[in-house]
């Protein structure tokens, strides 16, 4: 994990994460399934290396090796799917551990590797257990019911340099899809998937917030929502008619069209992809329809690439109008297109994003992405015709 990272499952439980940004095992499972890790970064070994709180919890014990035992506040999602309280013991930091009762939020700076006590070099000694497990007196390594670490800690955003081949896993969020409006926590689940993907392909955060703000107004982020009250719209951005989406998927060789993963790729292709699927129109004739709905003349001629990377350096609110006018093209009536609500949504998603994962897309990209969204690919078809929304 990386500093500040938070990850929730689709029910809103925290996902237990591996507490270091790099994994380098120096000593595989030994007594009570303990594993020793070296501090590491892109350049190599790091002493006194930062470790982050794998979940929100508090310190319940400290000992002579600057060891501490840490309990989750609530049940957390394990890498193997288990939902239970979690206990972690860590040891050897050079400085004293936080005192008993100190609490942390997932992603906080939590501990450091070190060489204090019964240690022969700077490292993090770690043991994990299922449930709230307490000290067993005889030796400081003694946690009851030890658990295989790879079955508890998901390794999202950890670079594995030396993982000894154990079954370390990424936690992948699942879309919540319902032909009805989603509530806030359900929207946040889907938004997290969208944010992860759009960041991975280099979209600017304010642009992502603008797209999310529009999606919220269109579909509450449910990829299978049929337009309420008729009208024939469908999906995250309410393609109208639904066949627009189906045709674009056929042209692009993506399926199924009902998948959120597919739809968020289609949107990008419709903004900057091949002319056969292009839905991005920013000529004066298109934009001016929305001059009474927040659009401004400097939006004329903005390219899809400009929008995706926010080369204009616009705030989320303005980008939300850009997306509405250049791509969504709802009613020209400001009372019906609800442009002010789209702007407010965009701002709140931008605020939300600072809590999902740290806003450091460059670093994240550099390390490569584990989040693969391409589902089943289909062969390209010949003789596609153009279609318009």
Stretch that binds Zn ion, among 15-23, 36-44, 228-236, 366-374 (CB under 5 A): 36-44
Stretch that binds Zn ion, among 14-22, 26-34, 132-140, 222-230 (CB under 5 A): 26-34
Residue least distant from Zn ion (Cβ): 125
Q: For residue 365, what is the enclosing H or E element?
A: helix 361-366
Angle between helices 242-252 and 260-272 (to 10 degrees): 80
User: Of 50-58, 119-127, 204-212, 350-358, which part binds Zn ion (CB under 5 A)?
Assistant: 119-127
Our finding on whether 34 is near Zn ion (CB under 5 A) is: yes
Tell me the site size for Zn ion, rule CB under 5 A: 3
Region of 121-129, 245-253, 260-268, 280-288 interacting with Zn ion (CB under 5 A): 121-129
Residue 240, C-beta contacts closer than 8 angstroms, at least 6 positions apart: 227, 231, 232, 233, 234, 389
Q: Which is nearer to Zn ion, 90 or 254 (CB)?
A: 90
Pairing verdict, β 57-62 and 103-104: antiparallel
Least gap, CB of 35 to Zn ion (angstroms) = 7
What minimum distance in Å lies between the beta carbon of 144 and Zn ion?
17
Q: Looking at beta carbons only, is 36 or 261 nearer to Zn ion?
A: 36
Query: Residue from 77, 125, 199, 338 that binds Zn ion (CB under 5 A)?
Result: 125
| Pick 46 or 295: Cβ nearer Zn ion | 46
| Other beta carbons within 10 Å of 142 | 15
**Segment interacting with Zn ion, rule: CB under 5 A, options 31-39, 174-182, 264-272, 301-309:** 31-39
Q: Are strands 76-77 and 68-72 parallel, antiparallel or unpaired?
A: unpaired
Are the CB atoms for 22 and 37 separated by under 8 Å? no
Q: Where are the beta strands (DSSP E) in the chain?
A: 22-27, 35-37, 40-41, 44-45, 50-52, 57-62, 68-72, 76-77, 83-84, 86-91, 103-104, 109-112, 124-130, 159-162
Nearest to 88, CA basis, from 78, 96, 80: 78
* Residue 36 vs 204, nearer CB to Zn ion: 36
Q: In the complex, what is the shortest distance from the CB of residue 142 to Zn ion, in angstroms, rounded to a whole number?
A: 13
CB of 10 to Zn ion, least distance (A): 35
| Shorter beta-carbon distance to Zn ion: residue 61 or 85 | 61
Cβ-based nearer residue to Zn ion, 62 or 200? 62
Per CB under 5 A, 65 contacts Zn ion: no
Q: Which is nearer to Zn ion, 124 or 195 (CB)?
A: 124
Three-state secondary-structure class, residue 237: coil
Tokens of 315: 């705030």
Q: Which of 14, 21, 36, 65 binds Zn ion (CB under 5 A)?
A: 36
Q: Which stretch binds Zn ion (CB under 5 A): 120-128, 173-181, 195-203, 313-321?
A: 120-128
For residue 125, the minimal CB distance to Zn ion (Å) is 4
Closer residue to Zn ion in complex, CB, 141/279: 141
The per-residue b/e assignment along 351-385, b for 16 or more CB within 10 angstroms, e otherwise, is ebbeebbbeebeebeeeeeebebeeeeeeeeeeee
Cα–Cα distance measured from residue 64 to residue 73, given in angstroms and rounded to the nearest whole number: 25
Cβ proximity to Zn ion, 34 vs 215, nearer residue: 34
- Output the CA–CA distances (angstroms, integers) from residue 73 to 59, 106, 181, in the order listed: 10, 10, 31
Indicate whether 218 belongs to the interface with Zn ion (CB under 5 A): no
- Give least dist CB 159 to Zn ion, A: 22
What is the maximal distance between C-alpha atoms in the chain? 79
Binding site for Zn ion (CB under 5 A): 34, 36, 125
């Amino acid at each position: 994990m990386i500093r500040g990272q938070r990850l929730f499952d689709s029910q809103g439980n925290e996902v237990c994460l591996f507490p270091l940004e790099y994994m380098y095992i120096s000593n595989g499972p030994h007594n009570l399934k303990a594993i020793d890790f070296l501090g590491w970064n892109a350049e190599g070994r790091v002493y006194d290396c930062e470790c982050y709180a794998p979940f929100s919890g508090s310190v319940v014990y400290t000992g002579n090796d600057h060891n501490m035992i840490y309990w989750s506040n609530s049940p957390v999602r394990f890498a193997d799917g288990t939902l239970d309280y979690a206990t972690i013991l860590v040891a050897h930091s050079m400085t004293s551990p936080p005192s008993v009762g100190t609490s942390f939020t997932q992603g906080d700076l939590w501990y450091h590797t070190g060489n204090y006590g019964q240690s022969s070099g700077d490292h993090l000694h770690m043991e994990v257990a299922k449930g709230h497990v307490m000290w067993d007196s005889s030796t400081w390594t003694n946690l009851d019911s030890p658990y295989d670490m790879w079955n508890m800690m998901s390794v999202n955003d950890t670079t594995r340099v030396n993982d000894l081949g154990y079954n370390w896993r990424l936690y992948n969020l699942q879309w919540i899809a319902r032909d009805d409006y989603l509530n806030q926590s359900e929207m946040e689940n889907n938004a997290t998937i969208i944010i992860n993907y759009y960041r991975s392909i280099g979209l600017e955060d304010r642009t992502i917030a603008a797209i999310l703000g529009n999606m919220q107004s269109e579909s509450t982020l449910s990829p299978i929502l049929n337009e309420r009250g008729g009208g024939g719209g469908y999906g995250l951005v309410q393609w109208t008619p639904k066949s627009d989406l189906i045709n674009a998927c056929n042209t692009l060789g993506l399926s199924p069209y009902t998948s959120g993963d597919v739809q968020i790729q289609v949107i990008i292709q419709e903004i900057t992809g091949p002319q056969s699927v292009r839905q991005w129109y920013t000529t004066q004739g298109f934009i001016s329809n929305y001059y009474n709905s927040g659009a401004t003349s400097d939006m004329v001629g903005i390219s899809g690439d400009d929008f995706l990377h926010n080369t204009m350096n616009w705030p989320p609110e303005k980008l939300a109008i850009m997306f509405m006018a250049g791509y969504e093209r709802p009613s020209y009536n400001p009372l019906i297109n609800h442009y002010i609500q789209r702007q407010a949504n965009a701002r709140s998603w931008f605020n939300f994003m600072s809590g999902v994962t740290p806003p450091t897309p460059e670093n994240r990209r550099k390390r490569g992405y584990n989040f693969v969204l391409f589902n089943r690919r289909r062969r390209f078809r010949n003789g596609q015709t153009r279609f318009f929304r």
